[in-house]
Chain A
Amino acid sequence: MWLLFVSLAIGVFTLVVLLTYVTIKGWPRLDIRLFTNMPSVRDPENAGAQSAITGTLWVISFTALVALPTGVMAALYLEEFARPNSRSQRFIEVNIQNLAAVPSIVYGILGLAVFARALALGQSVITAALTLALLVLPVIIISTREALRAVPRNIRDGSLALGATEWQTAYRQTLPAAIPGIATGTILALSRAIGEAAPLLLLGAVSFITFNPDGVLSDYTTLPIQIFNWTKDSREEFQVLAAATIVVLLLILLAMNFVAIWIRNKTQKRW
């Protein structure tokens, strides 16, 4: 039994070491300049990550704008409208499960070929947002379906018996009852998208950006990409800067996780 406990403890221990290490390493540069200054190759002492922070906000907002409605509509269809266990439903289901496990870099290739080149959107905020939206869509669909499934049958039956149509039942009864679950799943999916770097490497985010995005067709960089760029620079000051930026990124993700868990606990309903 102790052996089993140790195997769990190793994972937890690594997590603790990792968090401690980046905090200590990044500490000297964890200050306001990180938020007010732009990245720089010449002046590591004063370089910041402002363009990466605003870029992340831009990209993730549009990711959510595309992925959330599409994901919820798809989940509503699969859970409330499609004939259960029909061939097409099973096919879509396996397809979504597989998409959830496709390597993220493959989504980068898709984004490069379709959004950046074929649709000529180039290296822009919208290319990144559309690609990340496709990446998190399976996660949102799967968690939304689980939330819908947790709503008891009685509520639907009661609504239908009172003469509501299928759509009225889904939109006014089932969906509102599932919102906390959907919110939790979506926040977790978006926090995955925020940390994602691999597909963006193919979508032009590597270029050196010292300005904030000013529109969906603007150039951009994001926090994970900025971290990657600084990690590649072997000068010690940039490693410190990378660690400090990692702390900022992890704090954002941690805050999102807390909100998700808070919603889950606060609204946990016993039917």
Chain B
Amino acid sequence: MSETAEGLSLRQSRPRYGEKIIRSILALAAFVSIFTTFGIVVSLLIPSIEFFLEVPITDFLFGTVWTPLFKNGEFGVIPLLSGTIVITLIAIAVAIPLGLGASIYLSEYASDRVRKVLKPTLEVLAGIPTVVFGFFALEFLTQAILIKIFPEIEVFNALSAGLIMGVMIIPTIASLSEDAMAAVPSGLRDGAYALGSSKRQTAMKVVMPAALSGIVAAFVLGISRAIGETMIVTIAAGLQPQLSFNPLMGMQTMTSYIAAAGSGDLATGSIEYKSIFAVGMLLFLLTFIMNIFSIRLVRRFRQAYQ
């Protein structure tokens, strides 16, 4: 026995260069995602810095007038920010209760058969292009319904965009919070039942608190999607930047400014062109913070129930 072991090493006999090359090519593909993030940051940062050399950053962040196309235009981002906030608030006021309700129903109440029909339906809702939602908000919601309830509503208004955006986000919130609740160990539910809790008590007082960080992560991701959504607001909410909290009026958001200004043929060096990147930078930073927060929460939640 000892003789055969001699000379028969389990160590690699010769280096496999082919394997190493393939491995590096695959690694390169994985690094494309890093290059993408890097590319986003650099392509936002350089024109933004040039922009802030012309417009002081304090004027940008705290200014309340946004008139980039005027001769001595002002670049105060507050009106765009307020438009974003108003529409996002309307959207989450719709999406959080409905999305959470839907997820509790799907994970705690629905029979397998009902779930098999309803889950794909929610996926279809998630797959509707946002330009279609925008058309629906403007043509149907505003002109067939809202105008009858609020006769003074403007054709382009924040309300219709926010409501439809809320419907758009329901599937995001519902499916992520359902995942979170499904990950709660069934032992916790059984324990609650054994102590005499009803189904509702179990869902509300045991499952939901146990899945809370996952649910909050779903909310945060939903808000991030609302802030970044472009087509619905561009079509249905109008393009007047104004500092107002009246949802019946038209508003411009950060995204719809970028879309409107970017679709014109702007000269590369002009201040309007650079303003796209400054607003884009702010948008990217806001959503980035929320995304990372949400990713962290999910990770912590998974570790807790492993």
- A243→B129 CA distance, assembly (Å): 13
Q: Tell whether, in the assembled complex, residue B230 and residue A231 are in contact, meaning their CB atoms are under 8 Å apart.
A: no
What string of 1s and 0s marks CB contacts (under 8 Å) between A118-149 and chain B?
Answer: 10000000000000001001100100000000
Q: Tell whether, in the assembled complex, residue A77 and residue B23 are in contact, meaning their CB atoms are under 8 Å apart.
A: yes
Q: Does any Cβ of B come within 8 Å of A102's Cβ?
A: yes
What string of 1s and 0s marks CB contacts (under 8 Å) between A81-108 and chain B?
Answer: 1100000000110111111011111111
Q: Does any Cβ of A come within 8 Å of B268's Cβ?
A: yes
- A78→B23 CA distance, assembly (Å): 11
Q: Which of B39, B227, B263 has the most CB of A within 10 A?
A: B263
Q: Which of A29-37, A40-48, A154-162, A190-198 has 4 or more CB atoms under 8 Å from chain B?
A: A190-198
Q: Least Cβ distance of A243 to chain B in Å? A: 7
Q: Tell whether, in the assembled complex, residue B258 and residue A96 are in contact, meaning their CB atoms are under 8 Å apart.
A: no
Pick the contact of B33 from A3, A18, A99 — CB < 8 Å? A99
Q: Tell whether, in the assembled complex, residue B221 and residue A250 are in contact, meaning their CB atoms are under 8 Å apart.
A: no
Q: Least Cβ distance of A168 to chain B in Å? A: 9
Task: Report the interface size class on chain B.
Answer: 35 or more
Q: Tell whether, in the assembled complex, residue A202 and residue B259 are in contact, meaning their CB atoms are under 8 Å apart.
A: yes
Helix, strand, loop or mixed for chain B's interface? helix
List chain A residues, Cβ under 8 A from B102: 4, 7-8, 11
Q: Does any Cβ of A come within 8 Å of B22's Cβ?
A: yes
Closest B residue to A113 by beta carbon equals: B43
Closest A residue to B100 by beta carbon equals: A7
Question: Which B residues, 214 to 249, have Cβ-Cβ distances below 8 Å to chain A?
Answer: 221, 224-225, 227-231, 234-235
Q: Tell whether, in the assembled complex, residue B295 and residue A105 are in contact, meaning their CB atoms are under 8 Å apart.
A: no
Q: Tell whether, in the assembled complex, residue B291 and residue A165 are in contact, meaning their CB atoms are under 8 Å apart.
A: no
Closest B residue to A72 by beta carbon equals: B29
Q: Tell whether, in the assembled complex, residue B135 and residue A7 are in contact, meaning their CB atoms are under 8 Å apart.
A: no
Q: Does any Cβ of B come within 8 Å of A173's Cβ?
A: no
Binding site for A on B (CB under 8 A): 16, 18-19, 22-23, 25-27, 29-34, 36-37, 39-40, 43-44, 47, 97-102, 104-106, 109, 118, 120-125, 127-136, 138-140, 167, 170-171, 174, 199-200, 221, 224-225, 227-231, 234-235, 255, 258-259, 262-263, 268, 276-277, 280, 283-284, 287-288, 291-292, 294-295
Binding site for B on A (CB under 8 A): 1, 3-8, 10-12, 14-15, 17-18, 21-22, 25, 69-71, 73-74, 76-78, 81-82, 91-92, 94-99, 101-110, 112-114, 117-118, 134, 137-138, 141, 165-167, 188, 191-192, 194-198, 201-202, 206, 224, 227-228, 231-232, 239, 242-243, 246, 249-250, 253-254, 257, 261
Q: List 27 A-B contacts (CB under 8 A).
A: A1-B200, A7-B105, A12-B122, A15-B125, A18-B132, A18-B140, A70-B29, A73-B29, A95-B37, A101-B221, A102-B288, A103-B283, A106-B44, A106-B287, A108-B259, A117-B268, A165-B19, A198-B259, A201-B262, A201-B263, A202-B259, A231-B131, A249-B129, A249-B132, A254-B124, A257-B124, A261-B120
